[in-house]
Chains A and B, each alone.
Chain A
């Protein structure tokens, strides 16, 4: 297969699909929230969100004007050749999507403040690599909005406080974020590893569908407990009050240093966009999160 042109095509399709149509699990969670929300202002917000999602899907338009910072997650089969071409192909895909979908140009030089205009810049789009056995190439795009990114938290907690410290940290993060990350949100929570590892795992946890239970029953229970706690705050849809502040909590972890207890919370807005597809050895493309339209 011609990995370069295929990756560029798939990268472009994934960007287009991600920004115009939410994955099924997120859509269903928003519909459920709308049915069950008891606050009037909260229900109005959820109704507007559902209308907006439908309109975006029907008109193939980005559902939110902030089409995010473009982040890719690659699971590359160790037998796939010419992997050095993948990053450039994804950069090209991003440039093309910026013009054709279109996406908002969101890559700014941090020192001089100049917008590059095409969503690419030093280290952006950011590409996360994982080498797995086999000969297929799985690509996921996470266009990550700025409002929810701005309230992500890292805490180097006290090991002696253990799990209680982690729970408090998550509740405090939700309270502090308030209306800012466009609730109802999805939370990725990770603990251990080190400062960088915790943040990386927390963000990656946002990729897991929220209707899938964690395979570890104890962590699954922690996720349920954190979800319930976050919703007891009453912050509600768009911070105007209500039962639905968070739609799902996904937890991941790594072993920690005896003296450290790094904890990270990554927020995603209700427009929790992600799209995944797999390029097979024979060049066929399997879409995982979306039907390719």
Chain B
């Protein structure tokens, strides 16, 4: 396990160095996107329209934050990760089209996303689910909010991050997926568990 400190924009070479189980901290621009934001971004791309910002080399955070306005400035109150599998249907195209380098979330992602990460050079960083206050501590500013019509959790929050982490690299750009390894091992344990419970 190696600890890396990355600053956006992150290059493909930098992401290729990372292996599962490595620990990373991110400084720079991080953008929140959940189901609706992924959907809209891909729709705009399909219509050859521009996104509100260039996502190349940035970190995308699966997160619906609680944000409070103080005067004319937004402040992040809580910002833990949401379940990433919901974005599995979008993420492959998202990585391919927008060249994001780090996807941050919880619970891991599936085969399609793992393949896209391998092909285009991106990693998945697991942040402790629900650890919203820890996360908020590492976000020092809200730079902008786009697509607020989607509601507070689904909007595109453009954040300034300082040493955001620890993120465990759970999917790397070499086809390894830590969550799937754990799942495979659990599957191997299933029969023994059944036996112990007297299930035939």
Contact = CB atoms under 8 A, between A and B. Distances in A.
A241 B83 contact: no
Interface string B124-156: 001011111111110000000000000111000
Contacts of B136: 61
A235 B193 contact: no
Contacts of A86: none
Contacts of A269: 129-130
Interface string B103-133: 0001110000000000000000010111111
A150 B35 CA distance: 15
A66 B151 contact: no
A105 B67 CA distance: 10
B21 A179 contact: no
Contact of B194 (A49, A67, A168, A239): A168
B51 interface: no
A147 B168 contact: no
Given A63-B130, A67-B66, A241 B185 contact: yes
A180 B21 CA distance: 19
Contacts, number: 172
B178 interface: yes
- What bracket does the count of chain A residues touching chain B fall in? 35 or more
B130 A104 contact: no
Interface stretch (A74-82, A126-134, A202-210, A225-233): A225-233
Interface of A: 41, 44-45, 48-49, 51-52, 55-56, 59, 61-67, 102-106, 108, 114-115, 117, 145-147, 150, 164, 167-168, 171, 175, 178-180, 182, 225, 228-229, 232-236, 238-241, 269-271
Interface of B: 21, 63-66, 68, 77-80, 82-83, 85, 106-108, 126, 128-137, 151-153, 166, 168, 170, 178-179, 181-183, 185-187, 189-190, 192-194, 196-200
